[in-house]
Chain A
Amino acid sequence: MNKEPKPAPESPNTLLAQHIARQLLEQGLIGADNMAFFVRRLSEGQLREADWRAVLIARPLKGS
């Protein structure tokens, strides 16, 4: 009987994107919603100026 197929290893881009996203979240610069989507786009180089603008404008106010 075969093993389950291996999960794809996380790339350095993904690992670093997770690090960055975690710190941005801790600093209240981004919200926790759609974090996985944000990390994926960050790691794939898909976050353009307009995307960052939308993300940073939509961030929750600290303490709220």
Chain B
Amino acid sequence: MTTNDAMTQLRSLDINAFRGATRPFRLAFDPGKRITMIFGDNGTGKTTIADALVCLCTDQYGSLDDKSGADKGFLLSEGHEPEELYIQLETDAGTFTATLAGKKLRKDPADPPVTLRHLRRGSVIELATAAPAQRYEQLAAYFDLSGIVKSEEGLRNLARSTRNEQEQIARALAGVEQLLEATWKNEGSPGAGWEQWAAAELAKDLGAEQAKLNALRAALQTWERAGIALEKLNDTRAQGVSAAEARKAAEQRLAELQSASAQDPALLPLLEKALYYLNASSRDPQNCPLCRQPADHDRLLAELQTRLDGMHALREAAAAADTARTEHERLQTLWQGSLDSLNADISRLLEAATPLDKAPVFTENLNILQTPDLTPRRRAELFGELQPTLSGFLQGKSLEAELISKALDRYSLIHQNWQAVLRYRAEADETATLLHAAEAALKIAENTRKSYIETELAAISGEVDALFQALHPGEHIGGVQLFLKEKGKNSLELSARFHRHTGIAPQSLYSESHLDTLALCIFLALAKRYGDASTVLLLDDVLGACDEAHLERFMAVLREQSAHFAHIILTTHYRPWRERYGGAVDVQLVELLPWTLQVGVEISNNGK
């Protein structure tokens, strides 16, 4: 229970240039009274005061929220500048001020020192008679659980996706298990079962097999290279033989021409140069350029030309002989290179074949190739002779390599699939653990939320009913129950009793005044349950005309409930309230004078 000392005390409310407050208005709260009744006929400024409190202490706009299309820019009083507007609430916990910034209110500090719960006439009927979804909307601020529901959805999604993940893993696991089992069966189902077989297979040391395969592959590779080198050598040799014959023929033809012309081919370039010299116009045409004796220039030119024509065939034969010689020498060099290359490949083959298992005949053949003092040429010839025999041997080795390779591939497949089995099993375990945790957490979250709401609504319902019974004793109405629909997360149902009818929607049988008081009781119960020492209630013209007995009971309820709130502010235009409570010791009566543009909102009795 909150003590009076702990309650926030309201000291004063100042309003200027806000709506009807065209002049500075001040309401000084009586420190000894927890209920303030603001009385005024229509058009005296009650709503201006109520709106000022709502605008200051909440994010709402008071009565402007009730009016569809109302311009929130009209917070400023007629004829005033924006900087003149202020609303200020002074309490023992601090002063809270709002000023106008553009069309919005700027508040200082950001959080008000009081929590204002306000109920307006316009929302009273709605609270009791609205559809469940609208009712929830009105009360959402009190027990809104949207954050929890949203986080709960994240957890639900996790449970759903983990379940899917688990199914996918199970399918993948079954796939590789079936594959391994099929392989096991293909091999005659050895041992106790496929798992033991797979584990045993993987325990085998295949290092020796791999080494053997490597040796075989190395030998086969060198064998292939030596074969290619031999082929190249043979080609080169054949080309060399042809080139040698061509060279011989070309040289023979040259010798024949030389012999026939009895001329030295070395003269040819000299004669060509002489002809070139004599053809030049600047030369002396009368004398021989060599002996400087008079000479017949034209005859000299004719003689040179005749001799050169005779040497043309010789020149061509010399060029052909030169080309044939060059080609022959090139092929000799190439052949030597091929021979060296083949001998190197034979050496590598002999080395690579050393670790291989061999029949004696092959060992013997290979030994021949290793005979000391063999010339490279002879070795190459021997290799060519032994090639068909060695080929048979190495074909056998090729088959052996293929078999080992297949065995190793099979091992690799078993290994990969077994590793996949182990991985999927581990993932399945992790997923199962996560799913178990997610489902357990979801169950806790759902049940706790449901239980929380049921507990809260049961407590609120009990409080509402107690208040309602206090207002309507012996009237055979009440039994108020607030509850959420099982699947309607944002739908608040309301049921009550009317004489012998129980569990009815109150709007079906209750009178308007009963619905008014029911709404008021719901409001009070919620404000009390979720309020604290700083909660201020604003009841803005919530009750219309009622008989004296009900008025009396209503005030009794308010007086009793005022102990739970920092303050209750009540606005009314109902004159009997003023008459009855104007002089009450625990109620501060504030009577407003008729509003005018010049004076604005004004208190008639200075708050007394």
A8 to B93 Cα, complex, angstroms: 13
Of the stretches B281-289, B387-395, B434-442, B497-505, the one at the interface is: B434-442
Contact A49 B154 (CB under 8 A): yes
Residues of B within 8 A of A43 (CB): 147-148, 151
A15 to B529 Cα, complex, angstroms: 13
B74 at the interface (CB under 8 A from A): no
Residue interface mask B105-130, A partner, CB < 8 A = 1: 00001010111000000000000000
B480 at the interface (CB under 8 A from A): no
Of the stretches B58-66, B137-145, B251-259, the one at the interface is: B137-145
Counting chain A CB atoms within 10 Å of each CB, which of B146, B147, B149, B437 scores highest? B147
A19 to B459 Cα, complex, angstroms: 17
From B93, B162, B532, contact of A2 by CB (8 A)? B93
Contact A20 B445 (CB under 8 A): yes
Residues of B within 8 A of A20 (CB): 148, 444-445, 448-449
A16 to B143 Cα, complex, angstroms: 10
From A4, A44, A49, A56, contact of B441 by CB (8 A)? A56
Residues of B within 8 A of A44 (CB): 147, 151
A19 to B446 Cα, complex, angstroms: 12
CB interface residues, A 1-39, toward B, < 8 Å: 2-6, 8-9, 11-13, 15-17, 19-20, 23-24, 27, 29-30
Give the contact-size bracket for chain B. Answer: 35 or more
From A6, A17, A49, contact of B8 by CB (8 A)? A6
Residues of B within 8 A of A29 (CB): 437, 440-441, 444
From B113, B150, B456, B531, contact of A45 by CB (8 A)? B150
Chain B residue with Cβ nearest A7 = B532
B168 at the interface (CB under 8 A from A): no
B264 at the interface (CB under 8 A from A): no
Chain B: minimal CB distance from A44 (Å): 5
From B147, B154, B434, contact of A51 by CB (8 A)? B154
Contact A3 B93 (CB under 8 A): yes
From A3, A11, A41, A57, contact of B151 by CB (8 A)? A41
A3 to B456 Cα, complex, angstroms: 31
Residues of B within 8 A of A5 (CB): 93-94, 109, 111, 113
From A9, A52, A53, contact of B530 by CB (8 A)? A9
Chain B residue with Cβ nearest A9 = B532
A46 to B111 Cα, complex, angstroms: 24
Residues of A within 8 A of B148 (CB): 13, 16-17, 20, 42-43, 45
Residue interface mask B430-474, A partner, CB < 8 A = 1: 000010011011001100110010001000000000000000000
A29 to B147 Cα, complex, angstroms: 20
A23 to B497 Cα, complex, angstroms: 37
A59 to B534 Cα, complex, angstroms: 40
Chain A: minimal CB distance from B334 (Å): 71
Chain B residue with Cβ nearest A11 = B144
A17 to B151 Cα, complex, angstroms: 10
Chain A residue with Cβ nearest B566 = A6
User: Are A24 and B441 also in contact (CB < 8 A) when A5-B94, A48-B154 are?
Assistant: yes
Chain A: minimal CB distance from B416 (Å): 28
A15 to B452 Cα, complex, angstroms: 9
Residues of A within 8 A of B143 (CB): 12
Chain A residue with Cβ nearest B451 = A19
User: Are A52 and B145 also in contact (CB < 8 A) when A9-B532, A19-B448, A20-B445 are?
Assistant: no
Chain A: minimal CB distance from B90 (Å): 9
B561 at the interface (CB under 8 A from A): no
A9 to B112 Cα, complex, angstroms: 12
Contact A52 B441 (CB under 8 A): yes
Contact A16 B150 (CB under 8 A): no
Chain A: minimal CB distance from B379 (Å): 71
A49 to B152 Cα, complex, angstroms: 9
Chain A residue with Cβ nearest B94 = A2
Residues of B within 8 A of A17 (CB): 147-148, 151
User: Are A53 and B151 also in contact (CB < 8 A) when A8-B111, A23-B444, A27-B444 are?
Assistant: no
A53 to B155 Cα, complex, angstroms: 8
B189 at the interface (CB under 8 A from A): no
A9 to B445 Cα, complex, angstroms: 22
User: Are A53 and B441 also in contact (CB < 8 A) when A12-B145, A13-B146 are?
Assistant: no
A34 to B552 Cα, complex, angstroms: 53
Chain B: minimal CB distance from A28 (Å): 9
Contact B154 A56 (CB under 8 A): no
From B113, B142, B448, contact of A12 by CB (8 A)? B142
Chain B: minimal CB distance from A39 (Å): 10
Residues of A within 8 A of B440 (CB): 27, 29
Chain A residue with Cβ nearest B447 = A23
Across the A-B interface, the 4 shortest Cβ-Cβ residue pairs? A45-B150, A47-B151, A45-B147, A13-B147
Residue pairs across A and B with Cβ atoms less than 8 A apart, 11 shown, are A9-B115, A13-B147, A16-B448, A19-B448, A19-B452, A20-B449, A47-B151, A49-B155, A49-B158, A52-B438, A53-B162
